[in-house]
Amino acid sequence: MNVLAGFAEQHDIAYPLLSDEGSVVIGRIGMLNDRVFEQHAAYGVAPREQHMGTPYPGVLLLDEQGVVIGRRFQQSYRERETAAGLLEQGFGGHASTHGIEDRAGSAGVSVRAALDSETFRFFQRLWLTVELTVDPGLHIYGRPIPDGYVPLSVEVAPAENMVVGEPVWPETRPFRVEGLDEQFQVYEGTVALALPVTFTARGMSDQTVRVTVRYQACSAADCLMPAALSLELPVRTADLVS
Amino acid sequence: MTTELPPLPVVDFSRIGPALGSRFPDIALPDQNGRTVELHTARAGRRALVVFHRSAAW
């Protein structure tokens, strides 16, 4: 109990931290991680007895009646999401605070990139959100796309010990230009997509996530020049809990 | 020289823990202040996030 009290005080935690001595409840409700040594082996960690009895680091959302209405697990037991990431990517909610953002734009389109935390920790999963707002009457292209057109793309500059996952793409809308045979998939209005970003080494220095967003905005009549915008999101390293 | 590590095992999480749509079991455990918390009583009719963590000690 001293451990939990100290942890709560150190991190200013007001919600209940429950202690499951002997992992009795963890076992009873089927959360026991019985593959921890296999997972350790994948990271080159030697097995230790204290690792027995740990739960899978899952998160369950209960409704007002106590019924499980959301479950969030990661294959890597190391990977944890930010609170904002859990809420938005895991359970479809909306977080009231976000980390850092940068903005850019071109004629008819504004772009905002944001990370859901100002800091990162070892194996914490941050979400990079890229949001484009396209003026009425314009659209940008998604995929699939005929040759010669520029689809919306988001590229994160590679950095050592930074892993960027596949983006979660929003739905496109089919679009046809009169007089052309080609069928297009387009985005209009506000388009938001999210990519997971994880830093996988201990003791990393502060980082800058560099994002390039490419697209071409068109109306039903004609197209603007293709755009390639650079956005930068500095993120500070946070010490691990010792 | 680098040593090849085995891949991370793929876990079928649909079989782990309380299922979607089921009522979370009744549990009662001590909190950081030494008080026993009965989860569903403590929720007091509100939603709750139950976060499983390995340990606060290491």
Classify A5 as helix, strand or coil. Answer: helix
How far apart, in whole angstroms, are the C-alpha atoms of residue A131 and residue A159?
22
Least confident of A70-79, A86-95, A101-110, A197-206: A86-95
pLDDT score of A242 more than 50: no
User: Is the Cβ–Cβ distance between A99 and A117 less than 8 Å?
Assistant: yes
Interface touch B9/A50, C-beta < 8 Å = no
Per residue in A41-99, pLDDT (tens digit) is 888 888 888 788 899 999 999 999 999 999 999 888 888 888 888 888 888 887 766 78
At residue A36 the predicted structure's pLDDT band, cuts being 50, 70 and 90, is: confident
Residue A166 scores a pLDDT above 70: yes
Q: Do B8 and A30 touch (CB under 8 A)?
A: no
DSSP state of A64: T
pLDDT < 70 regions, chain B: 1-3
The answer to whether A56 contacts B13, with C-beta atoms less than 8 Å apart, is: yes
CB contact under 8 A, A57 and B54: yes
Query: Mutate which of A12, A23, A56, A68 to test chain B, going by most B C-beta atoms within 10 A?
Result: A68
Residues of B in contact with A83 (CB under 8 A): none
Strands A217-218 and A207-215: unpaired
- Check CB contact of B27 with chain A, cutoff 8 Å: yes
Q: Is B54 on the interface with A (CB under 8 A)?
A: yes
Cβ contact A35:A54 at 8 Å? no
pLDDT at position A196 is 93
Q: What's the mean pLDDT when you consider all of chain A? A: 91
B2 and A CB contact within 8 Å: no
Question: Residue B2 has what pLDDT?
Answer: 60
Q: Is the pLDDT of residue A181 over 90?
A: no
Q: Which residues pair with A128 in a beta bridge?
A: A115, A195
The alpha carbon of residue A171 and the mean position of all alpha carbons in its chain are separated, in whole angstroms, by: 18
In tens, the pLDDT along A121-142 reads 999 999 999 999 999 999 999 9
Cβ neighbours of B45 in A, within 8 Å: 64
**CA of A208, closest CA in chain B: separation in Å?**
28
> What ipTM was assigned to the predicted interfaces of this complex?
0.92
Chosen for mutation from A10, A18, A121 (greatest number of chain B CBs closer than 10 Å) is A18
Min Cα separation B41/chain A (Å)? 10
* pLDDT for A120: 93
Of A181 and A200, more confident: A200
Residues in chain B within 8 Å Cβ distance of A57: 51-54
Q: Using the beta-carbon criterion (under 8 Å), do A8 and B3 form an inter-chain contact?
A: no
Tokens of A107: 């004629």
More confident position, A58 or A178: A58
Tell me whether B46 touches chain A (CB under 8 Å).
yes
Q: What is the 3-state secondary structure (H, E, C) of A119-147?
A: EECCCEEEEEEEEEEECCCCEEECCCCCC
Res. A185 pLDDT band, cuts 50 70 90: very high
Contacts of A163 in chain B (CB under 8 A): none
